[in-house]
Structure 1
């Protein structure tokens, strides 16, 4: 009898401990490279965190660390989430040149047609190609997305023709975009977004190729005078791919109900929603540049730019094919998915 009572008491203690553990709030450390006031945090990361808190009954929350507050540099964010230094991160694969070569197809020139549709296409593309998915095998992918049309933000002169780029030092984020700039006659300068302000202020660069969404984060409107967009009827001159990812072990450690919350807030729909959000953020950023000079590079002028871009794409096809992938098939499938999900 005494033994039975002791056993029951022990089981009660264990059950109570388990209940207490399950009642504890899971706090996810979310690390990214832009300021807290950026569109990325205010319009996407914070709302996502609010949603998982609501749907989990406050059993799962976020602690967001913007502006690399936990240390390191933007290119190190992927390894931080992979290694469990942080639980969730948002970063550009393109900041880690050569590490995600197959998914770079979405960063080739004149690919993106709409941020929402192309973000869905990117998610679909990665899920349906095992060799591409393998590039992200070390993390739990929550979403993949792109941003809106790239814009030239220049300090001394607008960009109206390809000849205007000759010799100018222009920032771009990824190696494929830098190859395009070189093909157009510019001198490409690779750097993460947080470095753009100082580079413009110190005349290290003559301008930056970024979407309007970035303007508030780095105060571009105060550092340049000219903003040159490409004809909106043409595909974007470039876009960048982004990943929103979670540490795999952290995800696996969650109880089933919290895993379900994460699963319900991941995937194709989230990817498209983030792309749509970034398009809306472009409007906010552009409004800040109203006092500056704007121009649109016409479709007729862009035809020669597109020919230069075709060589960049051909070089990518050759490079990944040499490593064992079917580059041409991947390029054609990416274009087909972009067309499939295009928002009219």
Structure 2
């Protein structure tokens, strides 16, 4: 009897040790995020990518989101320094570093976030990656948010009404648009926008319609002008610490790369497109004053005239990058507009 119990004990011990080994073998990929937990990036994009990573690595790598690690402009350095294993951020938060990345923000793209994100990834790989603007990081994906729109506390009836208004602008191409409009720019990360509007520190903001829901702007920005195709598209990258990748087995490293790239870029863009649809419905249900501008309206024509020549400014700004930027921009637009979703 004693021998039988001992055998059972040893068997159980072996099982527990085996389970312990499996648990300890699991690698946690710590992803830093700066948007609210309910935001589409945290509610859809990260969980979906995490599911792909878990399946591709047979459960050996698990993605976990961490909040509150710092301003989004610092996340590039935090991941490079290993404070987090991966993250994402808006390129416009770091003026001067990501010049090429801002090409995708050019007005009048005329395509969805999903289509533009796919085009962006292909153009990034073909033209931009060699310039190494993401030095110290491994780029896992690039994407854009949906069309930026004019969201204000008080209604406006023309672009001229924005002159002198205090407008929160995240940087990048919207900064040039704001300059041409004659607004007073106020810099702040997106999660601070609700507070800025609520307290009257700013008169409005340029952001996609999704934020009527995710940042609850339907409560504080009760007037939205929706230009056809929007004012701009916001440029983001998803990046990983190279040392973290090197710490993995070749098999797991390749597995993560295999579920990143264009696949990740398309998924992120599509998720943000969906968020725009939800944001629009939220605004409509909340009785927000939505002015949906058609292409033939004076509002749209004035905007088209306003942004004339912005392409050239970008082309001149990246002349030192050693990239055929003109071909890259033409290819970007061609792929985005012909993409079949």
Q: Is 2:329 aligned against 1:335?
A: no
List aligned pairs for 1:31-50, cutoff 5 A.
31-50=32-51
CA distance in 1, matches of 2:283, 2:128: 43
So what's the TM-score if we normalise by structure 1? 0.86
Aligned residue for 1:58, secondary structure, equals: coil
Shift in Å, 1:144: 0.6
CA distance in 2, matches of 1:130, 1:323: 9
User: Aligned pair in 2 of structure 1 residues 322, 306: CA closer, same or farther (>3 Å)?
Assistant: farther
1:276-325: CA deviation from partner (whole Å, max 9, x where unpaired):
11111111222222221111123132223122212222222222226655
> Residue 152 of structure 1 aligns with which residue?
150
CA distance in 1, matches of 2:322, 2:31: 36
User: Aligned pair in 2 of structure 1 residues 194, 22: CA closer, same or farther (>3 Å)?
Assistant: closer
Q: Is 2:175 aligned against 1:178?
A: yes
> Residue 24 of structure 1 aligns with which residue?
25
CA distance in 2, matches of 1:33, 1:130: 26
Q: Is the 8 A contact 2:131 2:321 kept in 1?
A: no
> Residue 289 of structure 1 aligns with which residue?
283
> Residue 254 of structure 1 aligns with which residue?
248
CA distance in 1, matches of 2:76, 2:318: 22
Q: Is 2:57 aligned against 1:60?
A: no
Q: Is the 8 A contact 1:162 1:305 kept in 2?
A: yes
User: Aligned pair in 2 of structure 1 residues 136, 323: CA closer, same or farther (>3 Å)?
Assistant: closer
Q: Is the 8 A contact 2:131 2:322 kept in 1?
A: no
User: Aligned pair in 2 of structure 1 residues 222, 111: CA closer, same or farther (>3 Å)?
Assistant: same
Q: Is the 8 A contact 1:317 1:331 kept in 2?
A: no
Shift in Å, 1:131: 5.7
CA distance in 1, matches of 2:340, 2:193: 31
CA distance in 1, matches of 2:141, 2:129: 18
Shift in Å, 1:127: 0.4
CA distance in 1, matches of 2:73, 2:199: 23
Gapped regions of structure 2 (runs ≥ 5): 1-16
Q: Is 2:209 aligned against 1:221?
A: no
List aligned pairs for 1:316-335, cutoff 5 A.
316-321=314-319, 325-335=323-333
Q: Is 2:90 aligned against 1:103?
A: no
Q: Is the 8 A contact 2:114 2:266 kept in 1?
A: yes
Q: Is the 8 A contact 1:114 1:342 kept in 2?
A: no
Task: Identify the range of structure 1 (268-277 vs 332-341) with the bigger mean alpha-carbon deviation.
Answer: 332-341
> Residue 237 of structure 2 aligns with which residue?
243
Q: Specify which of 287, 292, 299 is matched with residue 295 of structure 2.
A: 299
Q: Is the 8 A contact 1:150 1:238 kept in 2?
A: yes
CA distance in 1, matches of 2:49, 2:122: 21
CA RMSD of the aligned region, Å?
2.4
Gapped regions of structure 1 (runs ≥ 5): 1-15
Aligned residue for 1:135, secondary structure, equals: coil
So what's the TM-score if we normalise by structure 2? 0.86
Shift in Å, 1:222: 1.0
Task: Identify the range of structure 1 (332-341 vs 246-255) with the bigger mean alpha-carbon deviation.
Answer: 332-341
CA distance in 2, matches of 1:63, 1:103: 27
> Residue 9 of structure 1 aligns with which residue?
none
Q: Is the 8 A contact 2:34 2:70 kept in 1?
A: no
Aligned residue for 2:70, secondary structure, equals: coil
Q: Is 2:199 aligned against 1:202?
A: yes
* Equivalences, count: 320
